Structure 1
């Protein structure tokens, strides 16, 4: 069976790329798999960063003049035409495949394989008339243009797919409540790499770890909040270190530079674009994992700005780190409060709860419970959930009225 995996964000090497990368890895064991991209990227670097094995997987680049963030009406219109041309090419190309899977939460392409699956990572709320009015009053014209395009295009695009996969119940609920798709929705949480054996609490050090990309906008990771919390924490608990780990592109390097200036004088270590083995080492040594995505956000008004699932959160738990996350979005499906981790809402609360937990005898047992909880989201669980979903779409009727395979 020939399978195409289209992702416009392959160069980002974030959570979506972990999802699709592992998908490519497990599908390539039995099928011919091609990764399709509209932006060039280094496949070898992708494998090193995300711990993937993609030998035998093809890479096809579809040249595109579309850009991510057009400015002004003229550039926005040019971009719409460029994206339309790109999508027509994708549609023609995917006719040669038995299954095509697209990762696109904004403007999904029209695919023409025998079976077509859309994987939605980011839950977008449908704007109301009041939202448009407020945006116009604030002169947020770029947002207005984007939401007009989404309101017209997104529900029509959903009808072109045989199945929608979501990364969490949270994403699925937002999608269902706002867009009411006519095709089935299944939740298949992302695959998480876990250690083969438990990490003893005695091997861990006074280290707090946070793993998240460095960027601004959208569901930004708010490392500046963690710096503020650590500044207060380390005064009372000297000897602890904060390790900030994450990928950064050219714009992200500016964010890193600002954070480094803010962290001067503190025992804070930055690991920018760290290789996978370095991330594993830090998980192994860390006692605590901090996450600040969604801090101060109303998830009902801006669901796209909270954590949609939380791959790094589960990874850290798998290595026995005690997690502290903002209690919004996908994190609520992972952490059992007071059992396998904690939620927090304010910086003082994060500081106080962390201090209380690391000082108590229960910490080692909670570390074990966190690791046990993470097993629910391991790669084997992902494999089973995905192939169940694939069997469903292959056995059911196609929107194109053609057999599933040749």
Structure 2
């Protein structure tokens, strides 16, 4: 099949700029399909594609980027233009409009919980009372995906963002925009302009203190169902949070209140009350792809849909057989109070017991990014490591990480330690790309034997499963003190890692799309 006779394929990801594992999956999928098809990369925000390619090791030169609206509800007319939509966006509820839809699940969201039920009941009971036929709002271009803040959500603007408003004809209506003070203190306050038809209607400053900023503008509706494009312009900055976030952020918009009074205030704070039920977005997709058998089980349980497993693509750092007395662990520093922690604090404590049990000459190297909101957790890990041969590599470049993979004799992964799969499956490792990378380079994996890690590492064949810090320390001593055992496990680990190669991933993806799902 050639690109001339191939299909138009859209690959959607609303988080390209975060450049994580989900984005590498989406990019590698697009790269594989671009040999046979006309592939478009859909994003609601502008992306530095060359920088993304370098960081994630991709070649997207045969693909075409395309912007889509920030509001997922407005993207269906665009996806209808395609033969195939592949939705690789984490926690997306975006309906498919293409002739064929494929939804890639990192881990499913629980549908029909108490919060969702309350929203549906609220919309059903209060919606008919609160909603007005002559008032409406839709998110346009220039907004980043919604983020949660306490009980509410907000959206970062880019340098220019557009909101489409339908207002009563012939009558001035107050429109109030509320911005949060989330810009870093080191960044000067942003000048915000509201424009309609090229004319500035209002302006303000956002940032510099902790108070929300309200900006009002009086607008007259156009009647006949016509909308007004309200343009928000502001200064931008690039986050410096040690997490590779290359987004150009303007100001965080928390709410838009149309009109005055209690009804307008309530709809501004809780816009879902006036929205129509979105229905079952999963039903619009013909096929579901899970990144692991662990994810597949929860898709079946929560979504009542079967799915096929296509493991993420993994590239390996090649190296020789010489290994240093070095234990490596890779993962973002993430406080467990907020969910998916890699448990670096527990790893340091386990390493301390090894040092006291006379494991001479060994070092622990921790590699990972750390967002500003998790800086306190990183500080706690550093404090725990005082006096130990523990080395931190925060936001290490790819070359440094590959070097550490080639040097490491043992690899640790502790996500899911002490967590209940039944109560909190989202806190377990859904797959574990870094473990496969380490195995491919020749390190022996010693991991928490749950979820995706248990699928990758075969116990006592190419590594070990553990359930406690005591087991982790004991297995580490066993491998460290027996070079022959370490060599046999390392050879088996390399062979096992080959099953998750980029080449095999590309073959499975092409078979899925080209053969109508017979991957």
TM-score, normalized by length of structure 2? Answer: 0.63
- Show structure 1 runs of 5+ residues with no match: 65-85, 133-140, 396-406
2:495 is equivalent to residue 365 of structure 1: no
Distance between the aligned counterparts of 1:345 and 1:41, measured in 2?
41
How far off its partner does 1:93 sit? 1.7
1:356 aligned counterpart, secondary structure:
helix
Aligned to 2:49: 43
Contact 2:292 2:309 in 1 (8 A): yes
**What's the CA shift for 1:32?**
2.7
* Secondary structure of the corresponding residue to residue 73 of structure 2: helix
Greater Cα radius of gyration, structure 1 or 2: 2
1:150-177 residue CA offsets vs partner (Å, 9 max, x unmatched): xx98981110001100001111111112
1:46-125 matched pairs, under 5 angstroms: 46-62=52-68, 64=70, 86-125=71-110
- DSSP 3-state at the match of 1:172: helix
Report if the CA contact (8 A) 2:87-2:102 is conserved: yes
How far apart, in 2, do the equivalents of 1:89 and 1:155 lie? 15
Give the aligned partner of residue 230 of structure 1.
Answer: 351
1:278 alignment partner, one of 390, 400, 407: 400
Q: 1:173 to 1:319 in 2, by over 3 A?
A: same
Q: 2:39 aligns with which of 20, 33, 39?
A: 33
The CA deviation at 1:108 is 2.1
- The count of corresponding residues between Structure 1 and Structure 2 is 357
Give, in whole Å, the separation in 2 of the partners of 1:340 and 1:330.
Answer: 15
Distance 1:200 1:170, change over 3 A: same
Is residue 307 of structure 1 aligned with residue 442 of structure 2? no
- Following superposition, the deviation at residue 346 of structure 1 comes to 1.2
For CA contacts below 8 A with separation 6 or more, give which structure has more relative contact order. Answer: 1
Partner of 1:385 in structure 2? 508
Judging by fraction of residues, say which structure has more strand: 2
Greater per-residue helix proportion: 1
Q: Deviations over 1:162-206 (max 9, x none)?
A: 11000011111111122213xx521111111124x5x433x2111
Provide the secondary structure at the position in 2 that maps to 1:53. Answer: coil
- Distance in 1, Cα, partners of 2:464 & 2:347: 15
User: Could you tell me how far apart the structure 2 residues matched to 1:153 and 1:273 are?
Assistant: 42
1:200 equivalent to 2:324? Answer no
Instruction: Give unmatched runs, 5+ long, in structure 2.
Output: 1-6, 118-149, 153-271
Q: Distance in 1 between matches of 2:402 and 2:362?
A: 19
Q: 1:63/1:243 Cα in 2 relative to 1: closer, same or farther (>3 Å)? A: farther
- TM-score between the two structures when normalised by the length of structure 1: 0.80
Alignment correspondent of 1:75: none
Matches within 5 A, 1:148-227: 156-181=280-305, 185-195=307-317, 199-201=319-321, 203-216=322-335, 217-227=338-348
1:78 match: none
In 2: Cα distance, 1:345 partner to 1:107 partner:
33
Cα shift at 1:53: 2.0
For residues 318 and 6 of structure 1, the distance between their equivalents in structure 2, rounded to whole angstroms, comes to: 29
Q: The residue matched to 2:280 in structure 1 has which SS?
A: helix
